[in-house]
């Protein structure tokens, strides 16, 4: 309460503008060669007319030390959370900020309080980070000033003061790596940043500034479901990306892809986002040779089959990216039978025709025929099972076998990456067509059994009816004869 009272007291006189000659605090400290005073000469606050006393309290109009530091509102060097609270005294007040010609939002302090940096430090007495941790205490300049620690070309060094310190980071989060800066320098963003390009993404671009949240926080800019939007803030801006000469439709394509739909619409956090393919701090477009390794980190079996396929050698000789050539990159769609074959919509037809790469042409044609036959057989089997089930027949075993047919179709979509006609044929026939044929046979027998029972019941009913009627007539005849006698 005492500290708060002091702040309120000196805030009443804190906005008096003193000329440089009247600021005895600065004059005295400058004479004795105080480093803080020398730095403050270039401080944005001094240029705006603010004095040492605005932050430290005291009477800056007196050159008498006892008078200057003897006032009730003298704080001296602020400690702990008081540092940021003094900054917030102005920076959280829009009226005061407008008075000094600033259009800053005024919510930086509240954002800091709710951020990961605003948590209590290991001492239990203050936040992990104060305003001065990143902006400095004296010699503060605007963010757009190249001398600022948070200028785009300097921010990575500022962040790395803590994040590259193994002892410090082990104290707060041992799971966080401490090589982010080294990785960043190898990335396309880091390379451009190092060359002096302030438009290249740096720490703040992705993580935010005052409002930084842990990556697993749903409000974090780098939370899995938010990351594509974070990347698109730059990469979908045509004007911003113009000088880099790369497309700006990646987010649009990704949003309609199988990966984008799973992540953005179905909230499947296991679906890949931008960083899963491009990397985080070491972000860089995958090269021709590495694309299959990136895709293979999830689609391991497909990548393994492709690596031993004849297409592997062919793609390498023509310097073609492996997975991307057939499936695309950002606009990847759900795999279906349409991709296989020799018609116009099939990817095989891009390279294989009746006149060029003929062996692959006929192999693709045969594989598509097997796939279509299996799909057709599966539909027929399903219809027969449904008919038998509607007639009240027991078909649970046949329905269970349908799973094997579906599994065979999934296996074919994987086996196709081996581009081995014999393997494809074996799965299609032995695990697919043979099983679907057996299912159809079982369903047909169930339907035949139904009609057999129905006709048998009808015949039995007719016979029983005839017998009953005959017995009735015989009995009536005997009764008539007995009455006559």
Nearest to 260 by CA among 229, 214, 292: 229
Q: Quote the tokens at residue 277.
A: 């393919």
**Count of residues making up the chain:** 485
First to last CA, the chain: 130
- Rounded average pLDDT over 115-138: 94
The class of domain 358-484 in CATH terms is mainly alpha
SS3 473: helix
CA angle 286, 291, 292 (to 5 degrees): 160
**Is residue 13 within 8 Å of residue 72, measured between CB atoms?**
no
41 φ/ψ sector (left φ>0, alpha ψ -120 to 50, else beta): alpha
Number of Cβ atoms within 10 Å of the Cβ of 319: 8
Instruction: Convert the pLDDT of each residue in 109-121 to its tens digit.
Output: 999 999 999 999 9
pLDDT above 60 (res 101): yes
Q: pLDDT-based confidence at 178, cuts 50/70/90? A: very high
Instruction: Convert the pLDDT of each residue in 401-429 to its tens digit.
Output: 999 999 999 899 999 999 988 889 899 99
- Rounded average pLDDT over 155-178: 94
pTM, two decimals, is 0.79
Nearest to 326 by CA among 362, 364, 359, 354: 364
pLDDT above 50 (res 2): no
> Average model confidence (pLDDT) for the chain?
89
- For the chain, residues classed under CATH 1.20.140 are 358-484
């Amino acid at each position: 309460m005492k500290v708060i009272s002091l702040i309120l007291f000196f805030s009443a006189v804190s906005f008096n503008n003193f000329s440089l000659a009247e600021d005895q605090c600065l004059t005295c400290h400058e004479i004795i060669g105080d480093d803080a005073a020398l730095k403050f000469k270039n401080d944005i606050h001094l240029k705006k007319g603010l004095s040492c006393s605005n932050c430290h309290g005291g009477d800056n109009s007196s050159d008498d030390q006892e008078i200057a530091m003897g006032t009730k509102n003298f704080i001296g060097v602020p400690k702990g959370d008081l540092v940021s609270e003094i900054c917030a005294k102005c920076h959280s007040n829009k009226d005061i900020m407008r008075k000094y010609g600033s259009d800053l939002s005024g919510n930086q302090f509240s954002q800091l309080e709710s951020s990961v940096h605003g948590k209590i430090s290991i001492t239990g007495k203050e936040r992990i980070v104060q305003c001065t941790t990143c902006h400095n205490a004296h010699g503060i300049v605007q963010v757009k000033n190249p001398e600022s620690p948070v200028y785009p070309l300097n921010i990575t060094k500022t962040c790395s003061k803590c994040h590259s310190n193994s002892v410090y980071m082990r104290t707060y989060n041992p799971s966080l790596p401490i090589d982010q800066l080294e990785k960043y320098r190898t990335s396309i963003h880091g390379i451009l940043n190092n060359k002096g390009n302030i438009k290249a993404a740096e720490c703040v671009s992705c993580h935010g500034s005052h409002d930084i949240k842990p990556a697993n926080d749903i409000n974090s800019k780098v939370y899995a479901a938010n990351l594509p939007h974070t990347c698109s803030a730059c990469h979908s801006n045509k004007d911003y990306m113009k000088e880099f000469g790369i497309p700006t439709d990646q987010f649009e394509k990704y949003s309609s892809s199988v990966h984008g739909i799973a992540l953005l619409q179905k909230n499947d956090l296991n679906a890949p986002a931008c960083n899963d393919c491009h990397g985080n701090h070491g972000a860089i477009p995958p090269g021709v040779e590495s694309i299959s390794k990136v895709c293979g980190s999830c689609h391991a079996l497909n990548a393994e089959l492709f690596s031993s396929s004849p297409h592997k050698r062919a793609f390498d000789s023509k310097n073609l990216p492996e997975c991307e050539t057939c499936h695309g990159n950002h606009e990847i769609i759900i795999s279906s039978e349409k991709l296989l074959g020799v018609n116009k919509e099939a990817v095989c037809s891009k390279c294989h025709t009746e006149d060029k790469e003929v062996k692959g042409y006929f192999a693709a044609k045969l594989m598509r025929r097997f796939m279509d036959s299996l799909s057709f057989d599966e539909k027929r089997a399903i219809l027969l099972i449904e008919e038998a089930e509607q007639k009240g027949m027991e078909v649970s075993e046949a329905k269970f076998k349908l799973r094997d047919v579906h599994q065979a179709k999934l296996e074919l979509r994987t086996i196709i990456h081996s581009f081995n006609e014999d393997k494809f044929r074996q799965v299609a026939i032995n695990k697919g067509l043979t099983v679907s044929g057996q299912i159809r046979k079982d369903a047909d027998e169930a339907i035949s059994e139904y009609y057999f029972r129905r006709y048998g019941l009808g015949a039995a009913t007719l016979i029983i009816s005839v017998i009953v009627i005959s017995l009735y007539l015989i009995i009536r005849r005997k009764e008539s004869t007995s009455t006559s006698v």
